A and B are shown apart, each in its own frame.
Chain A
Amino acid sequence: MLHIEHLTHRFAFTEVLTDLSLSLSAGETLAIVGASGCGKSTLLNCVSGLIEPYEGKIDNRFKRMAYVFQQPRLLPWQSVIDNLSFGLKAQGIDRQERYATAIALADRLGLTQEDLKKYPHELSGGMQSRVALGRAWALRPDLLLLDEPFSALDIGLKQELYVYLRQLINEQSSSVLMITHDVMEAMQLADRILVLSAKPGRIMWEHRISIPHQQRDELWVYQQTASFLQQPLVRASFGLPMQQGAALL
């Protein structure tokens, strides 16, 4: 469904992605993890078409893509309901239907009727993130691109949004390409994890998770993350010291 072959990208003379190949099948959630500045966002921007890759081929067969940015990036001059249904308007869906979808979504995401009338600046950070997620979700995408949308939230809010996200993904069996620097987040949400090395980004490690999402409890996530981080190649990608089990301080 999405095939990337030998993708290389450079900004001026700096190579950020080198010879990267991956594929994403329908209904799969693929997480790409890596240290900051490893070219994760660039990869996502190439897939979404925001930037033209320097070399390589991207074969994207998904029909409806939606993108959730790192910041909520809501339109400050539109109310929450207009922000939620913003993508639908672009598809030429009439106002009544748009609003009905938005109202239903708001309910799913724990936003009240009052919230719908508010402007983004009247919402808390967590609510803004929910609206941003809702805006992407309103499109019923078959491919959802997530650019660390949860990184600025506290742990309680993150967990809450993970739940919403998983529910929505399961309902529509969408494919997700998410990038994150948080390994635990990837462990919890993804079916497959790719580790990207820094400068320039290349794929160092692949990890499949076969346990269904419902069975992944906190303890499981902690343990999996710990053993995942023991892999020498993973440690290298994140710039962790090589001695296994070294004291953290």
Chain B
Amino acid sequence: MRWFTATLTYLWSGWGAITSLLLLLALWQWGHSLYGELVLPSPTATFAQMLQFYQQGKLIESLTITGQRALIGFLLSMIVGTLLGVIAGRYITTAMMSRPIITVLVGTPPIAWLVLAMLWFGSEEATPIFTVFIACFPIIFIGALQGAKTLDGYLHDLAHVYQLPWSMRLGDVYLPHVISYLFPAWIAALGMSWKIVVMAELLATSDGIGAALAVSRSHLDTAASMAWISAIIFVLLAIEYLVLEPIKRHVEAWREGS
């Protein structure tokens, strides 16, 4: 019952976000009435187009393909980035050594990775997945590294003095600490993955939302383009507010000011 009311309260607080989004739509509508259908189709026309895509089955199909690519790239990045990051953070030498490499990875524009991926993998599944992977990797790696680096000190003393068994050291002390650093990094990376995958598809694949966007652009079909863009944003909003934010609240209830 308590869980139920808490969920309801959370969902209801979404009206604030909906208010802002509706104002954004008003602004969009205003732009439409200034520049006309060709430059900026109205929100209603766009949503009608989106509904049509849904009825044709294109919408769900493209979303599934794109979603899978983003998720696979993200998961690979999560596994590899977390493991390597924790290992690198445990030793001062490796932490020191990895810093410049991460600077290079963060600094390289995702589009450059995409070009390389296309050269290496061609127009295959691997291209968008790799691009997502490599774009998310440094974010997660840094989070893991920071978490592991700050493990020493009082947590170690505490674990020793209270003679914690290994299972507890890991489950009650070290993991929560590392995850407190990792979690924001995962979330940032997940948001990133969705944007990167669309970009990669636009240039490298023949299916998925990015590809659909490329097609509508080549037909100079602004309404269709806006419909695809809106679909991307809808998914982004849904993931953010219906999945990530609730998890974040649950996991980070102990944090100050949360």
Contact = CB atoms under 8 A, between A and B. Distances in A.
A and B physically associate: yes
Interface of A: 48-50, 65-67, 69, 71, 73, 75-79, 86-87, 89-90, 92, 119-121, 139
Contacts of B107: none
B254 A69 contact: no
Given A48-B161, A86-B162, A76 B154 contact: no
Contact of A90 (B168, B177, B253): B168
Most buried by B among A87, A90, A119: A90
A69 B157 contact: yes
A50 B162 CA distance: 11
Contacts, number: 50
Q: Determine the main DSSP class of B at the interface with A.
A: helix
Contact of A121 (B157, B160, B165, B254): B254
A71 B176 CA distance: 20
17 contacts: A49-B160, A50-B160, A66-B162, A69-B154, A69-B158, A71-B154, A73-B157, A77-B254, A78-B172, A78-B254, A86-B172, A90-B165, A92-B165, A119-B253, A119-B254, A120-B254, A139-B162
Contacts of A48: 160-161
Interface residues of B, number: 19
Interface of B: 154, 157-158, 160-165, 168, 172-173, 176-177, 180, 253-256
A73 B173 CA distance: 12
A92 B166 CA distance: 12
A76 B254 contact: yes
Contacts of A119: 253-254
B161 A75 contact: no
A66 B255 CA distance: 27
